[in-house]
């Protein structure tokens, strides 16, 4: 349809310092995007783009860090997303160990909608300080029934693939209904 499908809301999740803001800035800097900076508690980027010859509108939210741990802000973040980018840093094992509880909470909160979740191992450029192997995070993704990708926001490596991947996952869910 004219104007593109969506808008679909995509939420960045993950510990502070893993690179969510860096990924959001790349998304926002891509051609055709509009940046909305509302109150201090909300930062979002809207972008219309073409994936597989079909237009789509995504709004990427980078609001997880401002949310109170376990509180209603996080809860509403988990409930409003159409898809989730679950980010950790491959150089920070602690950020990786925080992933499963968030995914379990997400799934428990919306048992019927089963939104797409992509496990994103960011900072893949920092090979020498790596603490989580690709194999290990891939097996967590399999176990948790998520997609998996490693990115480097610093080098813009796999970032376009990440955003296209989330669009494809959203389409799969919507076509299934």
Contact between 102 and ligand GDP (CB under 6 A)?
A: no
Among 6, 19, 28, 81, binds ligand GDP (CB under 6 A): 19
- Which residues ranging from 41 to 80 are in contact with ligand GDP (CB under 6 A)? 65
Report the C-alpha gap between 25 and 135 in whole angstroms.
28
The closest residue (CB) to ligand GDP is: 19
117 touches 144 (CB < 8 A)? yes
Contact between 18 and ligand GDP (CB under 6 A)?
A: yes
Q: Which residue has 């969506």 as its token pair? A: 6
Contact between 144 and ligand GDP (CB under 6 A)?
A: no
Contact between 21 and ligand GDP (CB under 6 A)?
A: yes
Per-residue CA distances from 163 to 7, 118, 121, 136 (Å): 14, 10, 14, 23
For ligand GDP, the closer CB: 14 or 116: 14
Contact segment (CB under 6 A) with ligand GDP among 11-19, 29-37, 96-104, 142-150 equals 11-19
Report the C-alpha gap between 5 and 51 in whole angstroms.
11
Contact between 16 and ligand GDP (CB under 6 A)?
A: yes
For ligand GDP, the closer CB: 5 or 98: 98
Phi first, then psi: give them for residue 76, nearest 5 degrees.
Answer: -70, -30
What would you measure as the largest C-alpha separation in the chain, in angstroms? 48
Among 44, 137, 152, 169, binds ligand GDP (CB under 6 A): 152
Contacts of 68 (CB under 8 A, 6+ apart): 74
Interface positions with ligand GDP (CB under 6 A): 14, 16-22, 65, 122-123, 125-126, 152-154
């Amino acid at each position: 349809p004219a104007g593109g499908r969506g808008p679909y809301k995509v939420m960045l999740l993950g510990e502070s310092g893993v690179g969510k803001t860096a990924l959001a800035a790349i998304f926002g800097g891509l051609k055709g995007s509009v940046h909305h900076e509302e109150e201090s508690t909300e930062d979002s980027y809207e972008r219309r783009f073409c994936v597989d010859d079909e237009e789509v509108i995504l709004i990427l939210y980078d609001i997880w860090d401002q949310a109170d741990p376990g509180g209603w802000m996080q809860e509403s973040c988990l409930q409003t997303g159409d898809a989730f980018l679950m980010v950790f840093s491959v150089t920070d094992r602690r950020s990786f160990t925080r992933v499963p509880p968030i995914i379990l909470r997400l799934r428990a909160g919306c048992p019927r909608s089963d939104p797409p979740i992509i496990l994103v191992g960011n900072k893949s450029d920092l090979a020498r300080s790596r603490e989580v192997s690709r194999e290990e995070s891939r097996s967590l993704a399999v176990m948790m029934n998520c997609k998996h990708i490693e990115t480097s926001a610093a080098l813009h490596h796999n970032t376009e693939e990440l955003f296209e991947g989330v669009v494809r996952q959203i389409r799969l869910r919507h076509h299934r209904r």
